[in-house]
Amino acid sequence: MTMTEKAERKAAAENPPSEQEEVIFRAEKITKIYPGTVALDEVDFEIYRGKVNVLVGENGAGKSTLMKILAGVEQPTSGQLYLNGKQIENSSIIEAGKNGIGIIFQEMMIFPNLTVTENLFIGREKLNQGIVSNKVQREETVRILNQMEQPIDPDRLVGELRVGQQQIIEIARAISENKRILIMDEPTSALSNSEVTVLFQLMRELLVKGVTIVYISHKLEELMQIGDYVTVLRDGKRVAAAKIRDIDLSWIIRWMVGEKQGMFTYYQKRELGEELMRVEDITLPRIGGGYSVDHVSFTVRKGEILGLYGFVGSGRTELFECLCGCAKDATGTIFIHGKEVRSKKITGRIMDGIILVPENRQVDGLVQTMSVGGNIVLSSLRKYIKGFSLSKKEEKKAVAEKISEISIKVSDPNRLITSLSGGNQQKVVVSRALLTDPTILLLDEPTRGIDVGAKSEIFQIVNKLASQGYGIIFVSTELKEVIAIADRILVMSKGKITGEFLREEATEEALVTASAIGHELKGGAHA
């Protein structure tokens, strides 16, 4: 810790945010020890009534553990919880629920195979003589959704809803349970901007009704916008707390990251080379008519980072699927180094030099049962065959090379992949892709759900890769990220490319405007 930091920390500790606001819930000296690790170390945490109480920290700082303790999912090793000044025991999630505390998890706890109504009442069905009363449940659902001004059909299967709507269903469930304190763990990680707007509006309405919100997010701009109080955790300790009004973004980053480097390593100027990939007329029909990807054409040059921006549902994910060989019904032609790509399958496309680093690491990226090393070499096994068998030596060499090149933090590559933090897991997926010697690297939201420090490293890596001559297409829902990293930005909306901006021309406004073409933005213009 530097001297200034120490002083600041002292100041922050001595000046806890204004006493006049009412503390509804207080956690005191919470310590949580897992076998061999201290997740939380005497953490204090105050929650103010009717406010948005923000909790920030890097991955592994202990946010999720603290939330789980508040919600009764986990029990603290030591420390006390006070609700309205009275000591309580949240011995289970049900007990916490009785105390009026509800949690919306980072991984959504919805049942895609059940209807909206059924989801809302799962586990506490309204019974009429032992039989589920669908009518009562449905009426209640309609009432709550109307109250939230969300016109969602209560009989639809939740799996058919957009991600944003699914999130709203989760919130509706918490509301229908009359929760006084609502914990939201990364609720916006899967939402598009307009959906975030809707969510924030909803949160503000909840506040007016006296609901207290505890909010966790990696998206710092969001926190500044919606939060009232902020508490920063680092390495299992509470390092600072303040009123959002009194601070700025850099304050938060400073406390979160400590001495580590700042948020973005900015764009590095480099020479763009010859054309690597040309895509012509890529089209993917949508089930039920129309196109998910509507006759898209573009090129990527050597050493170029091409940003791709658009809302959820704009077709950017589908475009990636067409490129990487995941979409069976895709048509159109792709040229790599001027040669047409014939293969329609993932395996073939990888051989031709196109590989995708998927958005959802856990679902599409990692083989959780395998080691770090096993994951890294998975795509490039044929390179290590000596005679009939895989050569341990060659594998080891490749793994060690990538671990140092991409600076993956792991002491032993034989460890299970799940023992790494999110950022390092992402680097593993990137390493695997690089080992296939790709021409074009498709990065789908590579920074999703990882902390600021890791994000910054990922940006450095992407920059470095571009300088080495890879062509990179980079998708992100975060405007600032796209603008910070890309040489050129394509904006998609409704399956079409609706805007193309060189680095110099790209502004947030221009991108948003282009991404809304074909959409009518509804309401939500709340400041």
Partner 1 sequence: MPEIKKRNTNWLKVQSIVMKGRAFIALIVVFVLFTIIVPNFLNSTNLVVMTKHVAIYAILAIGMTFVILTGGIDLSVGSVAGLCAMMAGGFINEGITIGANTYYPSIPMVLILTMGIGTICGIINGLIIAKFNVAAFIATLGMWYVARGFAKIRSNGLTFPNLVGREELGNTGFPQLGAGSFLGISYSIWIMLVFMLVAIFVTKKMPLGRHVYAIGGNEKAAQMSGVSIDRTKVGVYAISGFCSSVVGLIIASQLVASHPMTGDSYEMTAIAAVVLGGASLAGGIGGIGGTVIGAFVIGILSDGLVMAGVSSFWQQVAKGIVIVLAVIIDQGQRRLQERVALTQQSEGKESV
- Closer Cβ to partner 1, 52 or 417, answer by number: 417
397 counts as binding partner 1 under rule CB under 8 A: no
Contact partners, residue 319, CB within 8 Å, separation at least 6: 282, 284, 293, 296, 308, 492
Helix axes 452-467, 249-257, angle to 10 degrees: 90
Contact between 217 and 58 under an 8 Å Cβ cutoff? The reply is: no
Q: Which of 259, 274, 328, 388 binds partner 1 (CB under 8 A)?
A: 388
Q: Which of 108, 378, 510, 512 binds partner 1 (CB under 8 A)?
A: 378
Phi, psi of 86 (to 5 degrees): -100, 135
- Smallest gap from Cβ 30 to partner 1, in A, equals 17
Contact between 254 and 57 under an 8 Å Cβ cutoff? The reply is: no
Contact between 212 and 180 under an 8 Å Cβ cutoff? The reply is: yes
- Smallest gap from Cβ 218 to partner 1, in A, equals 18
73 counts as binding partner 1 under rule CB under 8 A: no
Q: Which of 374, 449, 495, 499 binds partner 1 (CB under 8 A)?
A: 374
Measured distance CA(386)–CA(375) in Å, rounded: 20
96 counts as binding partner 1 under rule CB under 8 A: no
366 counts as binding partner 1 under rule CB under 8 A: yes
Name the burial class of residue 366, with classes exposed (0-12), middle (13-18) and buried (19+) by CB atoms within 10 angstroms of its CB.
buried
- Closer Cβ to partner 1, 173 or 349, answer by number: 349
Among the listed ranges 112-120, 250-258, 365-373, 519-527, the one in contact with partner 1 (CB under 8 A) is 365-373
Q: How far is CA 101 from CA 44, 235, 525, in A?
A: 18, 25, 30
Site for partner 1 in 342-361 (CB under 8 A): 345-347, 350-351, 355-356, 358
Q: Which of 60, 72, 313, 446 binds partner 1 (CB under 8 A)?
A: 60
- Closer Cβ to partner 1, 268 or 368, answer by number: 368
367 counts as binding partner 1 under rule CB under 8 A: yes
Contact partners, residue 10, CB within 8 Å, separation at least 6: none
* CA–centroid distance for 383 within its chain: 33
Q: Which of 93, 108, 370, 510 binds partner 1 (CB under 8 A)?
A: 370
382 counts as binding partner 1 under rule CB under 8 A: yes
| Complete DSSP assignment for 105-156 | -SS----TTSBHHHHHTTTS--EETTEE-HHHHHHHHHHHHHHTT----TTS
Site pattern 206..235 for partner 1 (x: CB under 8 A): -----------------------------x
Site pattern 27..56 for partner 1 (x: CB under 8 A): -------xxxxxx-----------------
Measured distance CA(485)–CA(482) in Å, rounded: 6
369 counts as binding partner 1 under rule CB under 8 A: yes
- Smallest gap from Cβ 42 to partner 1, in A, equals 13
Residue 442: closest CA among 350, 335, 347: 350
Q: How many residues sit close enough to partner 1 to count as binding (CB under 8 A)?
A: 47
- Smallest gap from Cβ 37 to partner 1, in A, equals 3
Measured distance CA(231)–CA(57) in Å, rounded: 9
Question: Could you list the residues that contact partner 1 (CB under 8 A)?
Answer: 34-39, 60, 235, 324, 326, 345-347, 350-351, 355-356, 358, 363-370, 374, 378-379, 381-382, 385, 388-390, 409-411, 415-416, 418-421, 424, 432, 436
